[in-house]
Amino acid sequence: MGKYTAGEFLSQIEFPRDLRDKFEVEQLPQVADELRQYIVDVISEIGNSHFGASLGVVELTVALHYVFNTPDDQLVWDVGHQAYGHKILTGRRSQFHTNRIKGGISGFPKRSESEYDTFGVGHSSTSISGALGMAIANDYQKIDKQHIAVIGDGSMTAGLAFEGLNHGGSTDTNLLVVLNDNCMSIDPNVGALREYLTDITTSHTYNKVKDEVWGLLGKISKFGPNAQAIASKISNSLKGSLLNDSNYFESLNFRYFGPIDGHDTIGLVKIMQDLKDIPGPKILHVLTTKGKGYKPAEEGNATQWHAPGVFNKETGEIVKVIPSSPQPPKFQEVFGHSIVELAEKNEKIMGVTPAMPSGCSLNIMMKAMPNRAFDVGIAEQHAVTVSAGMATQGLVPFCNIYSSFMQRAYDQVIHDVALQNLNVVFCLDRGGLVGADGATHHGAYDLAYMRSIPNMVVASPMNESELRNLMFTAQLKDQGPFSIRYPRGKGVMAKWKTPFKELKVGSGRKLKTGEDIAFLTIGPIGNKTTEAIDELEKNGLSVAHYDMRFVKPLDEMLLHEVFSKFDKVITVEDGCLMGGMGSAILEFMADHSYSAKVVRLGIPDKFIHHGTQDELYHECFYDKDAMIKSAEELMKGNVLKASSMVG
């Protein structure tokens, strides 16, 4: 268990049955206090974790596991940022200090990790549909279980959440949706639904009658066989009295209850015990505060405290390492500053992001040009199609979406943008292996899935200057769909603000001449290749290095040069091998009847779990050492299959 000590009550809880068997309702607030303190103690020291969201649902987590018979009753957390308390109460307290560390527990609920993690999550807005599917399956099999989806107000903005509600309301399944309303996703929540929920929570009409309603609900269990009729009358009364406040959820045939205090553990338990006896789809609206109970997080910048890193738990001071020399910026920061520079020169440029303005640095443009940059909420499909709409009117939208989240809008990319050949510039942040977020967040597939789409240009910069040049090139004239992907983290140029330069679409570049073997790379992983080449040349090899820059269209003149000269080639990409840049090179080689020994290095055909980026590059066999070994073996005539080197 390491050096972390649980409190008097928490130390007695290994699994939720201990919580239910050993403690009275009146003792639950202390359990919640100890659980919150344990989260603070551990996360303040290990860093590398989400924080504020889990503190905000501590009381809710305790109440859910106390009232419902988990894991038989099935609890689904949306996204999973808020599931740390859940993990601690479900057999993983002794492992919690390994959270998001390679070989340790995942930062998100994961079915293979625990039977209490009923549905694997990581992307938003899946909980309602997942829990509804479970409920339908158990109804069909005549299995009596409760099904609970816990979803934040930010996740409610996605179309998938509406689709789940719309279907759920047409069933009579035993489904409870708990709406955790803290007015935040990672950045502050936006949109009409946020305003609607705010109206509900501030409604004088509702607050005037809610105490009477809950007083009556608290007596439901005393009515025996008439409980269902009583509940129906209450629901109808609530709907009739508060039509303007509750019509959204009521119109979807969900009985709406709330809003209630999400930090009143005893009150939550009593309400949930009553709701267990009310059949059909229900929604419980709870109000919480992100970072609740830890003053610096509660009162500070909620976005900063979403994942603060290591911090002093006594003072709330976030530990920052001050480098001794100027450091390269993060790629996202280069994007954020560069789009403002470009927009100052080109009035047609617009910015769009789905709920990640801080994460992708579009917030810089939103501050400088608020009428030209838009956070559309957690709605990736809408982000793509609204960008397409802008492009039809002659604008040049830069649509910035994390690579793994762009997967959710793939049809819109094909149908609404590429089919119409619209000049939407997709800036795919977090391309490649992202590290501790693990399999749900790795940007493994975008090179492959984007290059398969007609009209699409697919590019990746090796450094910050190249990112600026690609952004500049994408907005010069009507280029059609243009995808630029870059990784999480820093680049290599401390002096990154270079003059903009137009690049010929489909042009690569020869970085180094050589005679024995050639490396073909795409994106920033090429910088590690440069390091590997330096080592190889110390050992007497003559190595050429080509930065392909574009996966589509390929620089065919450059490839003719490569295969006319070299019969030993290694491709390196921070993306999936299936259908990626290496595959494109093999296709070219076959189409032009070249013969060479080619080794492809990249992400193998498997899901990669969490760890640091360097640890994962090593695991997937495309770190510097893997490049060196591949080249040395290839010179001996051995073609290493990267997949065979991956554990």
Q: Chain centroid to CA 97: how far?
A: 22
Nearest to 613 by CA among 21, 100, 32, 75: 100
**Phi, psi (rounded to 5 degrees) for 601:** -115, 135
CA distance 179 to 257: 10
Written as six digits, the tokens of 541 are 């090899």
Active site residue 163: no
Helix (H, G, I), strand (E, B) or coil at 176: strand
Question: From the candidates 194, 276, 282, 290, which is the catalytic residue?
Answer: 290
Helix (H, G, I), strand (E, B) or coil at 572: strand
CA distances, 375 to each of 91, 311, 359, 424, 584 (Å): 39, 29, 12, 16, 35
CA distance 291 to 285: 19
Question: From the candidates 292, 408, 468, 488, which is the catalytic residue?
Answer: 408
CA distance 78 to 155: 8
Helix (H, G, I), strand (E, B) or coil at 133: helix
Q: What is the dihedral of CA 13, 19, 21, 24, to 10 degrees?
A: 120
Alpha-carbon Rg for the chain, nearest whole angstrom, is: 27
Beta strands in 43-174 (DSSP E): 74-77, 147-152
Active site residue 408: yes
Helix (H, G, I), strand (E, B) or coil at 106: coil
Question: From the candidates 250, 380, 466, 573, which is the catalytic residue?
Answer: 380
Measured in Å, how far apart are the chain's first and last C-alpha atoms?
A: 28
CA distance 460 to 328: 18
Active site residue 17: no
- The 8-class DSSP code of residue 359 comes to H
CA distance 83 to 111: 13
**Are residues 50 and 77 in contact, defined by beta-carbon separation less than 8 angstroms?**
no
**Phi, psi (rounded to 5 degrees) for 349:** -75, 135
State the CB neighbour count (10 A cutoff) for residue 201.
Answer: 16
Burial class (CB in 10 A: 0-12, 13-18, 19+), 504: exposed
Cα within 13 Å of Cα(142), Cβ side: 0
**Are residues 529 and 647 in contact, defined by beta-carbon separation less than 8 angstroms?**
no
Active site residues: 290, 380, 408
